[in-house]
Chain A
Amino acid sequence: MEKKQLTSYNQYIKRKWAILIGMLVLLLAACVLSLSAGSANLRIADILRTLFGGGNRQENAIIWNVRMPRVATAMVVGMALALSGCVMQNVLRNPLASASTLGVSQGASFGAAIAIVYFGAGIQVNAGGAASALTVTSPTIVTLFAFLGGIATTAVILALARFRGTSPATMVLAGVAISSMFTGGTALIQYFADDVMVATVVYWTFGSLGRAGWSEIAIIAVLSTAAFGFFFCNRWNYNAMESGTHTAKSLGVPVERLIVVSMLLCALISSVAVAFVGCISFIGLIASHIMRRFVGNDYRFLIPCSALCGSILLLLSDVVSRVLVAPTVLPIGALTSFLGAPLFLYLIVKGGKRK
């Protein structure tokens, strides 16, 4: 009987592995799709040939200098946002937690705006001031300020959760208030800035995956991978947290330390992502909710699957943003909100029916 029991458990675990592998395959497919989307009309065969070193000069330039940085940005930013959403929802015991709903992204955005306008992190404007040619001249300063903005928000949320014992609903309301405060702050900065700066900050808030270069991608990738390592090493602790903090403590989880370190890492990776690509909402919130439907609340699988799902969602959103009204590229932040909100509502309704 025991053997039979273990067989069905092993089959169940194999199904989760199959889902994880399926997500990896989907990610590869989304990468190829994203590389093929654009005005240059490259066929998938051309793309694959170029990727393996057989492309001509023009194809190499398009793939490696234009599309690949964009794809890499979408992958690492999607992963960062999804990881932070997944872990925040766990440690705050709040299914609505994510960098954007708790105001962390808005705080980071505010910090980045200060760095751009007042601290010479500046913007380099190429080709007659076209918005698409705006790039950050000092990513380190922008990152630092974005992180400070994000971390300040995180500190307020942690303090509310710890000292006032706020309910999940109150915490999200606090996030709305904090977001509103930072949005107001960003508006004030715009009000007092000159025209170019206003355009820059407004453009910044739209979010764009074309903004990050390889050095920025490397920073987000290194930080997100390190955070992923920490989160994955703590997967059993997160599983225990799902049963409540008392049970987690009784199972040997250092609850307070886990919450603080996890939240700081979430704030770091989401702030850095915001610093380089602007505010991108809903990816962090919905990626883990989608994956929970397939792998349950088992963080052994939920953490890697959410990371992959975040990357896939952002890659597909980017494809939509480029092809919907081509050759105009729609702002990715606006698009993820536009598409993410209905999807989230659908998940809520479906979840309600299931219960």
Chain B
Amino acid sequence: MIEIKDISFSYPDADILKGVGFTAESGEVVGLLGNNGAGKSTLVTCLNRIRKPKTGTLTIDGKNAFQLGRNELAKTVAYVAQKNELTHTTVFDCVLLGRKPYIKWSVSQEDLDICSRIMDRVGLLDYQMRYVDELSGGELQKVMLARALVAEPKLLLLDEPTSNLDPKNQYEMMALVQEVAKEKGITVITVIHDLNLALRFCDQFYFLKAGEGYSYGGIETVTPETLQAVYGIRAEVLDVKGRKTVIIE
């Protein structure tokens, strides 16, 4: 179980996060929702100590993750950034990099086996020797997901994993994330802007408004009132073919 408690972060001239917190179970996908500038990406980067929060704790299975060493934290919390700098390296090497917290002097057979298994799982089998700077957006996001998964984390942080993808790849990516989370018992916290994608693939919804938590809960918390308060938009939440769907007026 993941427990995030009282996370605050500020720059000298502005408070970005003010006492944010929620809990999530293993295998759950939590959607972080809110306007641009609400603090979603900042929260994600605070959780793996890329940014150091002013206050707050992250507890994973009863242990305070913020007290872990650098490598131990990297083994427990994996991260896929919003923008990835592309380098001229093969898919296999890129995925293998995710094992960095485990690699001491040289790469072990276990490292190679885990990379192979994960690449197989996410459908990268035919791409292993291709260079990442030659891949399409959808393929690249799979590589980034595989790199995060080979660390065998308990918490997976995704910062807008579908922002540069076409609708087909968006759905495929989120379906893959949901499946892997359930299979491996990983809690996923993902920043996401597409409300219908979130409704389809997230189990919990955390709405952030100006650095503060507005609401948290299951699909029932996604209501026209919440969307009005958080995004300032008029929208309806309808049942379409048995699925909740947001239609913006």
Contacts and interface: CB of A to CB of B under 8 A. Distances in A.
Nearest to B106: A300
23 contacts: A1-B125, A2-B117, A2-B120, A6-B113, A9-B112, A9-B128, A12-B90, A12-B92, A236-B97, A237-B100, A240-B100, A243-B97, A244-B81, A246-B45, A247-B85, A250-B79, A250-B81, A251-B98, A251-B100, A253-B70, A253-B100, A296-B89, A297-B87
B128 A8 contact: yes
Contacts of B77: 250
A175 to B, nearest CB: 21
Nearest to B101: A252
Interface in B38-58: 45, 48-50
Interface of B: 45, 48-50, 70-71, 73-74, 77-79, 81, 83-85, 87-90, 92-94, 97-98, 100-101, 103, 112-113, 116-117, 119-120, 125, 128-129, 131, 151, 157
A239 interface: yes
Given A1-B125, A243-B97, A254-B70, A249 B49 contact: yes
Contacts of A242: 85, 87, 89
A211 interface: no
A16 B195 CA distance: 46
Given A9-B129, A298-B89, 14 more contacts: A2-B113, A8-B128, A239-B97, A243-B81, A243-B94, A244-B84, A247-B79, A249-B49, A250-B48, A250-B157, A252-B70, A254-B70, A292-B88, A297-B88
Closest 4 CB pairs of A and B: A252-B74, A250-B79, A242-B87, A244-B85
Interface of A: 1-2, 5-6, 8-9, 12, 93, 236-237, 239-240, 242-244, 246-247, 249-254, 292, 296-298
A6 B87 CA distance: 22
Nearest to B73: A252
A247 to B, nearest CB: 5
A300 to B, nearest CB: 9
A104 to B, nearest CB: 24
B97 A240 contact: yes
Nearest to A9: B92
Contacts of A2: 113, 116-117, 120
A251 B92 contact: no
A351 to B, nearest CB: 9
A202 B46 CA distance: 54
A252 B70 CA distance: 5
B89 A6 contact: no
Contacts, number: 93
A129 to B, nearest CB: 51
Residue of A5, A236, A249, A250 with most partner-chain B CB within 10 A: A250
Nearest to B119: A5
B74 A250 contact: yes
A246 B144 CA distance: 13
A243 B116 contact: no
Given A254-B70, A297-B88, A244 B116 contact: no
A5 B71 CA distance: 28
Contact of A5 (B78, B128, B157): B128
Given A12-B90, A250-B48, A296-B88, A5 B74 contact: no
Contacts of B79: 246-247, 250
A161 to B, nearest CB: 15
B9 to A, nearest CB: 15
B134 to A, nearest CB: 9
Contacts of A292: 88
Contacts of B151: 251
B78 A250 contact: yes
A16 B100 CA distance: 20
Given A6-B112, A298-B89, A243 B84 contact: yes
Given A2-B117, A8-B128, A246-B50, A252 B100 contact: yes
Given A246-B50, A296-B88, A251 B113 contact: no
A330 to B, nearest CB: 35
Contacts of A297: 87-89
